[in-house]
Chain A
């Protein structure tokens, strides 16, 4: 990835990688929570939702970035929303054509991608100020990060709540599923659990860094 980039764009990989970990939309920025919680009751739904969001994010970032010189400041939000709504309508019809089951399982939440704050947030904060290539990388990174976060929520909830992953049974007959995990409250608990893991990891890192500098000073 880094090797293929021209030398004048050394930031390219960073635009992509920051969405995966350092600025992960769900776990760090806490954006786009509604779809993250609502459709993550199974790994398959979570993955489909993540990919749909990735597509909308990429396309809207591309369009908004290429239009950035022509959109007047006063009506920019309305313009962004209309661009996003157009691509969401496209995705809605595409999913309906690919799998009716999936469309039924995701329901109105596909249309609700329009109001995913992550997409509008990237349009406003990044795509409206950066050239095409960087915006595309940013969208890809954020989208992949979002998909990964959704998948890690969905997988945990499906394994604990149903004893399966992608519909395949993981445990022997005696496994008693935690039904609460696929119910709405399980979504809150799972996300809270992941955030706790991230908090503990961050705290440990800062503590290590602090002792490191203290030792260096002494």
Chain B
């Protein structure tokens, strides 16, 4: 059992080992949905919610599979849980806010294949976190993902107005930005321990 205090688990997931900028998880929505700040923040909330729910389920499943002595089923059951959580979130958003549903578009069902979410489930199992730690870890990872997404969206909104060389337009420029952001996040190393 891992004994790390809760605040250090949170800081670790959110800043030091930021899921997008240090682990490269969830790059597809990071590049795809980060062109507008408003959409980016809502996407962050949706992803955080799915992360927390699937993290709780993953904790339970992990316990059950240990009891059943069937660790090889771990991956399959994790992905099944995530897929159904995403389905629930999708129906919920469609009911509550059709406008948001349209602006997220294809990226909503693609949360299923967002590696960040499966990443939370796998990493918390590897690190042997307890229930409270799992919850905080998922919240931290979600906060870190939203933070990176919103920073990127803010930068890209500014870039729309500036003149950039023709060849760098599109993904290449976003990746250079992400690299510089990632350099900045390296400054958090050593925080919290």
Chain A contact residues, CB within 8 Å of chain B: 30-31, 33-34, 37-38, 77-78, 81-82, 85-86, 88-89, 92-93, 107-108, 111-112, 114-117, 120, 180, 183-189, 191-192, 195-196, 199-200, 203
A203–B27 alpha-carbon span in the complex (Å): 26
Counting contact residues on chain B (CB < 8 A from A), the size range is: 35 or more
By the criterion CB–CB under 8 Å, are B175 and A192 in contact? Answer: yes
By the criterion CB–CB under 8 Å, are B75 and A85 in contact? Answer: yes
| Interface SS, B side | helix
Given contacts A37-B24, A112-B122, A184-B22, contact A117 B110 (CB under 8 A): yes
Given contacts A108-B119, A117-B113, contact A203 B171 (CB under 8 A): no
Which residues of B in the span 141-193 have a Cβ within 8 Å of any Cβ on A? 166-168, 170-173, 175-176, 178-180, 182-183, 186
A34-B28, A34-B115 provided; 18 other pairs, C-beta below 8 A?
A38-B25, A77-B83, A77-B109, A85-B76, A93-B72, A112-B25, A112-B115, A112-B119, A114-B79, A115-B112, A115-B114, A116-B115, A185-B183, A188-B176, A189-B176, A192-B176, A199-B168, A199-B170
Which residues of B in the span 1-53 have a Cβ within 8 Å of any Cβ on A? 21-28, 31
By the criterion CB–CB under 8 Å, are A85 and B182 in contact? Answer: no
> What 3 A-B pairs are tightest by C-beta distance, nearest first?
A188-B179, A192-B175, A185-B182
A17–B23 alpha-carbon span in the complex (Å): 32
Chain B contact residues, CB within 8 Å of chain A: 21-28, 31, 72, 75-76, 79-80, 83, 109-110, 112-115, 118-119, 122-123, 126, 166-168, 170-173, 175-176, 178-180, 182-183, 186
In the assembled complex, the CB of A77 is this many whole angstroms from the nearest CB of chain B, namely 8
By the criterion CB–CB under 8 Å, are B122 and A108 in contact? Answer: yes
